[in-house]
Structure 1
Amino acid sequence: MLEIGSIVGGKYKVLNVIGQGGMSTVYLAMNERANKQWAIKEVRKDAVTNYRVVRQSLITETDLLKELSHPYLPSIVDVIDEDGRFLIVMDYIEGNTLEKALRLLGPQPQEYVIEWGIQLCDVLGYLHTRKPPIIYRDLKPGNIMLRPNGTITLIDFGTAREYKEANTGDTSYLGTRGYAAPEQFGGMGQTDARTDIYCLGTTMYHLVTGHNPGEPPFELYPIRYWNPQLSPGLEYIIAKCVQNNPDDRYNSCAEVMYDLQNYKELDRGYKKTAKISIALFSAVVALFVVFLSSAVSFKVKANAIQKENYTHYITEAKGAADNLTSVEMYAKAIAMQPENKDAYIDLLDNFFLDDDNFTPEEDKQLREILITPTKDGTVEECLAKNKDVYAEIAYKLGIAYYYCYDGVGNKQMATKWLGIAAENGKLSTAQQERAKRLGKIAGYYNLIGKTSKDGDKSVTLKVFWDDLVAIADGDIAAVDNETTALIIYKEIGSQVYDRADKFLKDGVTYEEINDEITLLLRSIDYIVSNYELTDRTRELVSESQRNLALAKDALETAAGKKKNG
């Protein structure tokens, strides 16, 4: 075991043990230089009999997580494989597992279980839509952390695998008895998204009933067998998730999420009789004949009504008393006409990005909108059919994630949208080139300054600088808008302030950097003189000018050090 107080990897001070299992120990550690806490998961060679298999499983887990970015997933920051032990340094997730909540408190309130189920659909849906899809395969209360703010985090990716379209079956059968789907134990083809949906059903079953499906009576009774007060709608959802035949389950997490969000509608459906009388059936047939004869007229009217309703929802969203209601109204408009850009643009500009801070909560709301099912697929699948609109929305989202996510930007989360914008071919040449370069730069941050196996730096700061300058090239305010221009100028100022000495050491000249700062300051002056500024853009002007002034000071200091050195 690691010694309390010891330093691991040259920078992580071990504070105490926070978890222990049969083959691993989890420690709380502190990076004292960064003043940040991390969790370190240790697996020792002498603690397991099949260390090679376990080690490979851990490598799989870390390789998968390194490529992922989602609010409900932990981030891997370091891997240390040395001295007969394997250490994974990851986000410290404050809270307890849902397994512990069950152990201490028993069955959980169904409102909580439904909310956790929606969050699990969100993160599993994210995994299933990767290319190739990632199948988690071991969903259970013990692998779900509940944070103090009520959100969940999915942990332990040791059994996850990428879905291989050509395979007829899995090469290994992994999962937890009771929670795992029948196909995880062979004979029914390879595991896919529906496997995780089965595990989601058994997990919700355990949480809401308190009965572990892996213990006697080893049978998944309807949840109201245990508690008649539970929702009939939730009972239907769980029962559909845990069908033995994958074809009888939900096909996607988007479908499960939709029903969880509307479980009360399913409750009402249960209260109605399932049989239709012959008289009613006859009436329906008669009405159908009448409707058919007026189909063309109705279709025209229906289209007009739909257009009117779409506009109505947007108007309601703009005048709503609170942001949550606004988002709900925009979501209804988008689901009604997912290929129409108006509601997306309004939602992004007037609510999510009105303060240039795209929060994790807003990100979650957006994800839920995009995976909402419609009669033609999810909202995003319908949006993708209109390439012009998809490119425009993707570009706007790429910029939002890159510069504004959680107030500081998240380059990795921007990658998907920038890639769509760059490859779509429907943007202006300047926007397409900017999306391409921003996506390229997003990949730099983990590589800058690192040395490859052949001894060369993976990405030099000179290359990084050239791409930064190219992004700011041209009249961004005219091609995009003044807000995007000012955000880009502000970011470049921040990069120079942080890395001025490194840029100089890597071959960027003082003159190049100084000229670029001067050019950007002139561009800001041009915006001030030629655009009607809002309170927010005035604030951005001040922030951009301040960042560039600080960058100039940092450049002068770095250049003086270089001369003196």
Structure 2
Amino acid sequence: MLQIGSVVDGKYKILNMIGQGGMSTVYLAMNERANKQWAIKEVRKDGVQNFDVVRQGLIVETDMLKKLHHPNLPSIIDVIDADDTFLIVMDYIEGISLKQALRETGAQPQELVIEWAKELCDVLGYLHSRIPAIIYRDMKPANVILKPDGHVTLIDFGTAREYKNAQVEDTQCLGTRGYAAPEQYGGRGQTDARTDIYCLGATIYHLVTGQNPGEYPYTMVPIRQIDPGLSTGLEQIILKCTQPDPSRRYQSCAELLYDLEHYDELDISHRRGQKRKLGLFAASALLTLILTGASVFGRVMEKKTENQGCDAYIQAAERTSGSERIDNYKSAISLNPSNEAAYLGYLDTVMEDGRLEDSEYQMLLQCLNDRDGGRSNANEAYLKTNEAGYVKFCYELGVDCYYSYGDNGNKAYAAKWLSVVLEKDAAGLHYSMPEDERNKAAWAERADILYHIGSYYNQLDQVDKSGDSTASYATYWMDLMELLDNDRGRTDGSDSATFLRLCIEITGQIQTNASKFKNAGITEDEMRTAIGTIREKSDGIEAGGELQKELKAQLAVNTELAEEKLLVVFSGTSEGGS
């Protein structure tokens, strides 16, 4: 057990104990050099059975949290793995758990609960949009911290898991009785996003009624049977969240969030529906007859209006900039989610600075997952009906992920989108592209090579059970050279930035992996020839915009460093002396 006043890892001074569970203790600590407080979670070997198993679970949990960045999630700062203890240094979240709030004041005000639910819905949607999706599985009041500013933070990822497409059901049945969905008890398929929606519905139920679904009689009745003053709209939402059959629940957090934001409209609809039910029944036969005749004409006119409105928003977007431009593209997508022009305009807008940030990528995914206008399917499903447009969007997004995601690109994300391109190409889809046939072939070939590199990128330097490498640096070099050759004729116009990014990557790989390329049989002449080709082709690109100027400057630095590295590697000079 950590001692109050002791210093951990030479920088974290333990101030006091702030929590204790079955196998862990949480301390408040101060990093005196940074003048900042942190929470340190300690799990000791002598405090739990099967410590090695628990330790492995903690490693999985912390590795998962390190990749997440959301305002309603804590950040992992440090992990200290010692022989007798495992320490996790994380954000200190000041506040109380919603379980404590229930214990102290009972049922919580409906308006506050709905605001908390919207924040929790947003963070669950963020987790579900990860690749692969993260299923939280243990939503309950005890795992939600209410901060002094009124916002909430989701904690404790001990039962979270990554969704596996090929898996029939979970390997372990985890969750909390009363809040857990039926499928969490095993035998009913794999848990997915709808499982978290069930748990969130049970949590909302507990918060607004004060009745714990995890206590006898372990049931959830309609909330207005407990408190008639509660909203009928919220009652409908909770009932839909907690359907035993996952197919009858909300199918995504975006769908649930929409209803939470409009629960009062559901309320009004319900009250009006009850009041007018008798009158509407009498009029329904006549209306049905009239509407049947008008429905075809109405749908044609509606579609025409949608297309005109979509085009108007796209034109408005082209006249604006920044967030206003993105809002116009979103409005266009809402009216006609099958029109690829709005998605491509959205993507071009976020890529104006030459970078695709994680937050921008997640917002784009959210836009694809939204069910605008109460539609039964997500926007992406409608875009897929426009096969040529969907392929073009996936190609552009795949290339942007490959070269421009964050600091170094994200090859795994790129492979996901480019696989769509290859699948449609293999099926013989004649997608429409503005280029001529020669460039269309180059376009498809580039997608194939980028996907190929992206799909095995993380296998470099990894070995299989026999000790053999799972990916070859020789193959990697050949793929890069194929890509360079494929892009040689595409060094002007909008493709110039893509070509420069490719050159930056190749020179960067020479700089980083020259020794490994050499060991794989790639000669000095081959690498210098590649650098020469890159210099010749990039010199012919006019730096017309700020992005091209920045990329050319970065490439110039990379080229010099790559040539210096070749001198070191092939002259026999030690790397330490370079």
Question: Scaled by the length of structure 1, what TM-score is found?
Answer: 0.75
1:388 to partner: Cα distance: 2.1
Partner residue in 2 for 1:306? 306
1:119 to partner: Cα distance: 1.8
2:123 matches 1:120: yes
- Inter-CA distance 528–162: structure 2 relative to 1 (3 Å threshold): closer
Partner residue in 2 for 1:333? 332
Partner residue in 2 for 1:372? 370
- Inter-CA distance 437–61: structure 2 relative to 1 (3 Å threshold): farther
2:469 matches 1:457: yes
Which residue identity is paired with 2:560? Answer: A
1:450 to partner: Cα distance: 4.0
Q: Is the 8 A contact 1:16 1:27 kept in 2?
A: no
Q: Is the 8 A contact 1:163 1:191 kept in 2?
A: no
Q: Is the 8 A contact 2:124 2:136 kept in 1?
A: no
Partner residue in 1 for 2:550? 539
- Inter-CA distance 367–390: structure 2 relative to 1 (3 Å threshold): same
The whole-number CA distance in structure 2 between the counterparts of 1:554 and 1:439 is: 28
1:516 to partner: Cα distance: 1.3
Map residues 248-287 of structure 1 onto 2, 5 A cutoff: 248-270=248-270, 272-283=272-283, 285-287=285-287
Which residue identity is paired with 2:417? Answer: W
The whole-number CA distance in structure 1 between the counterparts of 2:62 and 2:446 is: 31
The whole-number CA distance in structure 2 between the counterparts of 1:450 and 1:254 is: 38
- Inter-CA distance 82–447: structure 2 relative to 1 (3 Å threshold): farther
The whole-number CA distance in structure 1 between the counterparts of 2:75 and 2:153 is: 14
Q: Which moved more, 1:471-480 or 1:377-386?
A: 471-480
1:472 to partner: Cα distance: 2.2
Q: Which moved more, 1:402-411 or 1:97-106?
A: 97-106
Map residues 138-153 of structure 1 onto 2, 5 A cutoff: 138-143=138-143
- Inter-CA distance 369–159: structure 2 relative to 1 (3 Å threshold): closer
The whole-number CA distance in structure 2 between the counterparts of 1:242 and 1:509 is: 63
Which residue identity is paired with 1:336? Answer: L
1:236 to partner: Cα distance: 3.4
The correspondence for 1:439, drawn from 429, 447, 451, is 451
1:184 to partner: Cα distance: 3.7
1:173 to partner: Cα distance: 3.9
1:407 to partner: Cα distance: 4.3
- Inter-CA distance 345–75: structure 2 relative to 1 (3 Å threshold): same
Partner residue in 2 for 1:359? 357
Partner residue in 2 for 1:156? 157
Partner residue in 1 for 2:412? 412
Partner residue in 2 for 1:551? 562
- Inter-CA distance 99–327: structure 2 relative to 1 (3 Å threshold): farther
Which residue identity is paired with 2:129? Answer: Y
- Inter-CA distance 78–93: structure 2 relative to 1 (3 Å threshold): closer
Q: Is the 8 A contact 1:356 1:407 kept in 2?
A: no
The whole-number CA distance in structure 1 between the counterparts of 2:182 and 2:278 is: 40
- Secondary structure of the 1:377 match is coil
Partner residue in 1 for 2:345? 346
Which residue identity is paired with 1:522? Answer: E
Q: Which moved more, 1:412-421 or 1:496-505?
A: 496-505
- Inter-CA distance 311–98: structure 2 relative to 1 (3 Å threshold): farther
Partner residue in 2 for 1:34? none
Give the paired residue count: 539
- Inter-CA distance 193–327: structure 2 relative to 1 (3 Å threshold): same
- Inter-CA distance 166–491: structure 2 relative to 1 (3 Å threshold): closer
1:138 to partner: Cα distance: 2.0
Cα deviations by residue, 1:112-141 (Å, 9 ceiling, x for unpaired): 4144233234135437x95xx875432235
The whole-number CA distance in structure 2 between the counterparts of 1:536 and 1:6 is: 45
Partner residue in 1 for 2:528? 514
Q: Is the 8 A contact 1:97 1:143 kept in 2?
A: no
1:199 to partner: Cα distance: 0.5
- Inter-CA distance 208–113: structure 2 relative to 1 (3 Å threshold): farther
Which residue identity is paired with 1:526? Answer: G
Cα deviations by residue, 1:345-397 (Å, 9 ceiling, x for unpaired): 11111x21111122222122112111112645212222233332222111211
Which residue identity is paired with 2:467? Answer: G
- Secondary structure of the 1:116 match is helix
The whole-number CA distance in structure 1 between the counterparts of 2:477 and 2:87 is: 33
- Secondary structure of the 1:508 match is coil
Partner residue in 1 for 2:390? 390
- Inter-CA distance 251–365: structure 2 relative to 1 (3 Å threshold): closer
Partner residue in 2 for 1:487? 501
Give unpaired runs (5+ residues) of structure 1.
8-12, 30-37
Q: Is the 8 A contact 2:77 2:91 kept in 1?
A: no
The whole-number CA distance in structure 2 between the counterparts of 1:389 and 1:484 is: 20
Partner residue in 2 for 1:10? none
Cα deviations by residue, 1:45-83 (Å, 9 ceiling, x for unpaired): 6433456875786688689x59x9765599999999996
The root-mean-square deviation of aligned C-alpha atoms, in Å, is: 4.8
Which residue identity is paired with 2:528? Answer: N
The whole-number CA distance in structure 2 between the counterparts of 1:417 and 1:164 is: 16
Which residue identity is paired with 1:334? Answer: I
- Secondary structure of the 1:355 match is coil
Q: Is the 8 A contact 1:358 1:404 kept in 2?
A: yes
Partner residue in 2 for 1:33? none
Cα deviations by residue, 1:470-504 (Å, 9 ceiling, x for unpaired): 22223234697222112222232333333445544
Which residue identity is paired with 1:177? Answer: R
- Inter-CA distance 296–198: structure 2 relative to 1 (3 Å threshold): closer
Q: Which moved more, 1:451-460 or 1:218-227?
A: 218-227
The whole-number CA distance in structure 1 between the counterparts of 2:165 and 2:398 is: 29
- Inter-CA distance 556–204: structure 2 relative to 1 (3 Å threshold): farther
- Secondary structure of the 1:472 match is helix
1:322 to partner: Cα distance: 5.2
1:281 to partner: Cα distance: 4.7
1:344 to partner: Cα distance: 0.8
Cα deviations by residue, 1:497-531 (Å, 9 ceiling, x for unpaired): 334455445543322222212211222223329xx
The whole-number CA distance in structure 2 between the counterparts of 1:465 and 1:2 is: 51
- Secondary structure of the 2:542 match is helix
The whole-number CA distance in structure 2 between the counterparts of 1:151 and 1:359 is: 25
Partner residue in 2 for 1:476? 490
Q: Which moved more, 1:353-362 or 1:552-561?
A: 552-561
- Inter-CA distance 159–276: structure 2 relative to 1 (3 Å threshold): same
- Secondary structure of the 2:356 match is coil
Give unpaired runs (5+ residues) of structure 2.
30-37, 432-439
- Inter-CA distance 552–165: structure 2 relative to 1 (3 Å threshold): closer
The whole-number CA distance in structure 2 between the counterparts of 1:214 and 1:140 is: 10
Question: Scaled by the length of structure 2, what TM-score is found?
Answer: 0.74
1:436 to partner: Cα distance: 3.4
Q: Which moved more, 1:197-206 or 1:285-294?
A: 285-294
The whole-number CA distance in structure 2 between the counterparts of 1:495 and 1:143 is: 44
The whole-number CA distance in structure 2 between the counterparts of 1:118 and 1:292 is: 39
Cα deviations by residue, 1:70-99 (Å, 9 ceiling, x for unpaired): 6559999999999688x698xx65343986
1:309 to partner: Cα distance: 0.9
- Inter-CA distance 56–367: structure 2 relative to 1 (3 Å threshold): same
- Secondary structure of the 1:473 match is helix
- Inter-CA distance 52–510: structure 2 relative to 1 (3 Å threshold): closer
The correspondence for 1:96, drawn from 82, 93, 98, is 93
Q: Is the 8 A contact 2:100 2:142 kept in 1?
A: no
The whole-number CA distance in structure 2 between the counterparts of 1:39 and 1:115 is: 26
- Secondary structure of the 1:527 match is coil
- Identity percentage of aligned residues: 37
- Secondary structure of the 1:528 match is coil
Which residue identity is paired with 2:508? Answer: S
